[in-house]
Amino acid sequence: MRRLDLGTIRCVVFDFGFTLSSDLYFTLVPPGYPEWRAIIQQHIFDQPPIVRAWMLGDLTLADIARIVGQYVDLPLPTIVETMERGCTNMTFNQAVWSFARAQRAQGRRTALVTANMDVFTKVVVPAHGLDRVFDVILNTADAHELRKDVLWDRAFALLGDGLGYADSLLIEDGPKEPVLFRARGGYAYQYTDDRRFRRWLRDHQRVSRASS
């Protein structure tokens, strides 16, 4: 494995779920429904075909709300609004979030590539100002494509300036994507928690200073 020198990196590609943020969606619970999150977990997130179709853009939040509506006595617009509001109060993994926000000041470009649903683009991005931090944001639900390598290629094409894997770093929690990114010539770090990420970052910043 090649030794990473952060001084040579021109672009950083980030994942969202359990990398940039480890919070769950739909945390707002409507009055009178203490079982709200259990219903969503059981009937949505524990159903792989539903999750896959949602992340591919074949289902929308309105479709998901109709499923939830089978188990709660609430109007569909109320269910949708509650679910959307439950995505506006998310917290971020501060070490990764701070690193992401610092990249432009250091002359690097940034991309956010996520396997996600329509609510990410519609609610999470504007609610948390992600479009002010990342030069390119690609979501599988918008692209109708689940393969991250396909979306990485699209991100590099949108960024332009000759950017590609050779001078890019991926920050991603999943085990498969870092291996794939490295196989295509890039650098990658598999995120587990902020403490380890800060230590890794300090080590590689020292390497970069020593080689400059």
Can you give the residue ranges of every domain in the chain? 6-22+90-211, 36-85
Question: How far is 3 from 31, CA to CA, in rounded Å?
Answer: 53
Q: Convert the pLDDT of each residue in 61-75 to its tens digit.
A: 999 999 999 999 999
Host H or E run for residue 197: helix 194-211
Instruction: Give CA 37 to chain center in angstroms.
Output: 21
Among candidate residues 63, 60, 133, the one with its CA nearest the CA of residue 92:
133
What phi and psi values does residue 187 have, to the nearest 5 degrees?
Answer: -105, 150
Q: What is the mean pLDDT of the chain?
A: 94
3-state secondary structure of 146: coil
- Summarize pLDDT for 145-166 with one digit per residue, the tens: 999 999 999 999 999 999 999 9
The label of the residue with tokens 């617009």 reads 77
Q: How many CA atoms lie within 13 A of 101 on its CB side?
A: 12
Instruction: For residue range 96-131, list pLDDT tens digits in order.
Output: 999 999 998 899 999 999 999 999 999 999 999 999
- SS3 per-residue string spanning 89-110: CCCCCHHHHHHHHHCHHHCCEE
Q: What is the pLDDT of residues 170-209, one digit of tens each?
A: 999 999 999 999 999 999 999 999 999 999 998 887 544 5
> If pLDDT is split at 50, 70 and 90, which confidence band does 212 have?
very low
Q: Is the pLDDT of residue 45 over 80?
A: yes
3-state SS class at 57: coil
pTM tops 0.85: yes
How confident is the model at residue 29, as a pLDDT? Answer: 95
Higher pLDDT, 206 or 92: 92
Q: Say if domain 6-22+90-211 classifies as CATH 3.40.50.1000.
A: yes
Take residue 162 and report the two structure tokens written for it. Answer: 């000759």
Provide the pLDDT for residue 7.
Answer: 84
CA distance 8 to 30: 49
The helix (run of H) or strand (run of E) holding residue 169 is strand 168-172
Percent of the chain with pLDDT over 70: 96
